[in-house]
Structure 1
Amino acid sequence: MASFLFGRTLNALITVTLILVLVFVGARIGGDPIAVMFPDGIDAETQRAIEAQLGLDESIPVQFVYYLRDLVQGEFGNSIHSRRPVVELYADRLPATLTLALLAFLLSIVMGIGLGLIGALRRDAASGRLAMSLAFLGYAVPHFVLAILLIFLFGYLLRSLPTVGNATPYHFILPAIVLAAGLTASIARYTRSVLLDVLSEDYVRTARAKGLRDAIVNIKHALPNAMIPVVTVLGLQLTSLVSGSLIVEEVFAFRGVGQLLVGSVRDADYPVLQFGVIFFGLTVILINLFVDVLYAILDPRVRVGG
């Protein structure tokens, strides 16, 4: 187990290092913050002074060394445009994003397992086919397309839900639905597949042969055993919430960390962009590391294979 954990942790550290290098170099190649701040241009002397103030007058390797030094000291820098510490900027936005992600996660579990159950238990009926068709649509339709459709329906035609910002609890409804759509579809399809396998097991047929009603057999015997692998796969699907939040928050102008990160790309705000990519990258890496460890605990064969 120790060697397995060491190998997975080493892989995670290598990935983090690659993310650091790529985002640092890519940010400086991809945009010029001074050009964003002064679209009409400034004189060369003023530009050199601003570059020196922001630490952009050194070569990229030298800037990277300074950046690593600051990271070791716990300094993540200040936003180029607002001059506020980037940690403070993300701390202000993080509660809204966490709330949205939690709502989407809970919604996807309820809807995904529900659609999966209907798809498995009513597989030959119209309701079963409808449930899996909805799951397929949730999996196939991109986040931004679904977001635009819901904005048009509930914001323009029905005028029943707000579509911009996150000032009230009602502002969370549409973004949560969009963010949950893909995860709901994955859970539904996986639940249906696993439950169909469980329903064909001998102990389920034995329970039916004893005269137990189908509802009791399904709820007491089949469902609990089908949920074990479903719960495990949820960890793998959590990363979709991380990537999806970037698009969803931008479309709904939702003031979360995803919108902040997308805005930093547009404004070439290097410190905000670097911290945001590292934050999202670490989140995905830690989720995958947790799932790997969970697999190793539940199934010793994973440790041997690793």
Structure 2
Amino acid sequence: MTTVTPAVDSAQTTSPERRQLFSERWVRFGLRRAGRLLVSLWVLVTASFLMIHLIPGDPVRAALGPTAPADLVESRRETLGLNDPLIVQYWHYLQGLLTGDFGVSMMSGLPVSQTIAQRLPATLQLAVIAFVLALAIAVPLGVSMAILTRRGRGRKTELTFTSTSVIISSIPDFLLGVILVAIFSVGLGWLPVAGRSGPESFILPVLALALGPAAVLSRIMRVEMMGVLDADYIRTARAKRLPAWVINLRHALPNAVTASLTIGGLLLGGLVAGTVLVENVFAWPGLGSTIVSSITTKDYPMAQATVLVYGVGVLLANTLVDVLLAILDPRSTIGEN
């Protein structure tokens, strides 16, 4: 006599296993990203320390002036620990970072953390608004150009778009800022030349930062969107006679945005770094002008801290993009069976 075993629903047995496996992969993904971030932070901290100390010149002499007595300079160097071996200075630097102590500025005598707290909001405002504007320009422009120029249509439109975007993206941020000032401030008198005095003072520095990344990202967005529009599932959607806006916005756009998000993250990092020169062009009271003056005057604590803040900003931007990619497309990012 044969015993018949009842059939078990495979979906019921495998579904919890799949969810557990997927959760484990998310945990591994998070641990990998956290490990890379910690290693990158250590490299950044070490590089910022060595870079500042390798700049020729005496920071104490620069701070006290060329007429300061030699014994005063030597006493100041001893107080700041600059006579210690480089490895000892590095260890003290790490200890200060772990306790939130960035030191005291050699030029102003104020705590570095206080100066950063005062100037960082202005830089963040500039960078965030510029990035949002770059996305607001690039995504609709790239999608529109893909729809208008796909399969050889609109040759003149494509040529105009490509040549204009290439020219804009090839102009450095600071030079673009100078051009904008010459046209809209000096020539037309519509906008303030420099400073941070009101909403209108944001327009030119934000445009100087956003136009280049927007031009690059719009070209990438167009190429990705054209590839998606020729995919099989888009042809299937057209065969079902779905409205064009549904096909373009609901089916094609999410896939094109996912592919372009990686480049957008790199552009965000470059945009954060670009604030250094743009802030100096527009006399913006942010960290950009602070980092230039601190390096010029060899203000070790201030220069190290500002370089570190900019580097951390770039690392966090790239990590955020990795997480967004994992959320939007988990199969290709963290894997799924």
Instruction: Identify the residue that residue 137 of structure 2 maps to in structure 1.
Output: 111
2-side partners of 1:74 and 1:210: how far apart?
60
- Give the drift of 1:226: 3.0
- Across the two proteins, how many residue pairs are aligned to each other? 305
2-side partners of 1:112 and 1:181: how far apart?
9
Q: Which residue of the other structure, out of 191, 210, 213, is the alignment partner of 1:180? A: 210
Instruction: Identify the residue that residue 296 of structure 2 maps to in structure 1.
Output: 266
Letter in 2 for 1:89: T
Q: Which residue of the other structure, out of 83, 93, 97, is the alignment partner of 1:57? A: 83
1:162-241 equivalences under 5 Å are 162-209=192-239, 214=244, 217-219=247-249, 221-231=251-261, 233-241=263-271
- Give the drift of 1:97: 1.3
2-side partners of 1:25 and 1:221: how far apart?
50
1-side partners of 2:58 and 2:290: how far apart?
18
SS of the residue aligned with 2:309?
helix
- Give the drift of 1:83: 1.2
2-side partners of 1:79 and 1:144: how far apart?
27
2-side partners of 1:278 and 1:85: how far apart?
16
Instruction: Identify the residue that residue 290 of structure 1 maps to in structure 2.
Output: 320
1-side partners of 2:64 and 2:177: how far apart?
33
Residue 43 of structure 2 corresponds to residue 13 of structure 1 = no
Letter in 1 for 2:43: L
2-side partners of 1:56 and 1:21: how far apart?
17
2-side partners of 1:219 and 1:59: how far apart?
61
Is contact 1:139-1:186 (8 Å) kept?
yes
Greater Cα shift, 50-59 or 238-247? 50-59
1-side partners of 2:170 and 2:80: how far apart?
44
Residue 179 of structure 2 corresponds to residue 145 of structure 1 = no
**Root-mean-square deviation (Å):** 2.5
2-side partners of 1:72 and 1:29: how far apart?
23
Give structure 2 stretches of 5+ with no counterpart.
Answer: 1-24
TM-score w.r.t. the length of structure 2 is 0.81
Q: Which residue of the other structure, out of 41, 44, 52, is the alignment partner of 1:27? A: 52
- Give the drift of 1:211: 5.3
Residue 115 of structure 2 corresponds to residue 89 of structure 1 = yes
- Give the drift of 1:158: 1.4
Instruction: Identify the residue that residue 330 of structure 2 maps to in structure 1.
Output: 299
Give me the identity figure in percent: 35
Letter in 2 for 1:11: R
Distance 1:167 1:33, change over 3 A: farther
TM-score w.r.t. the length of structure 1 is 0.89
Distance 1:10 1:104, change over 3 A: same
Give structure 1 stretches of 5+ with no counterpart.
Answer: none
- Give the drift of 1:142: 1.3
Is contact 1:119-1:132 (8 Å) kept?
no
Decide which structure has the larger Cα Rg and report it: 2
Greater Cα shift, 249-258 or 130-139? 130-139
Instruction: Identify the residue that residue 163 of structure 2 maps to in structure 1.
Output: 133
- Give the drift of 1:301: 4.0
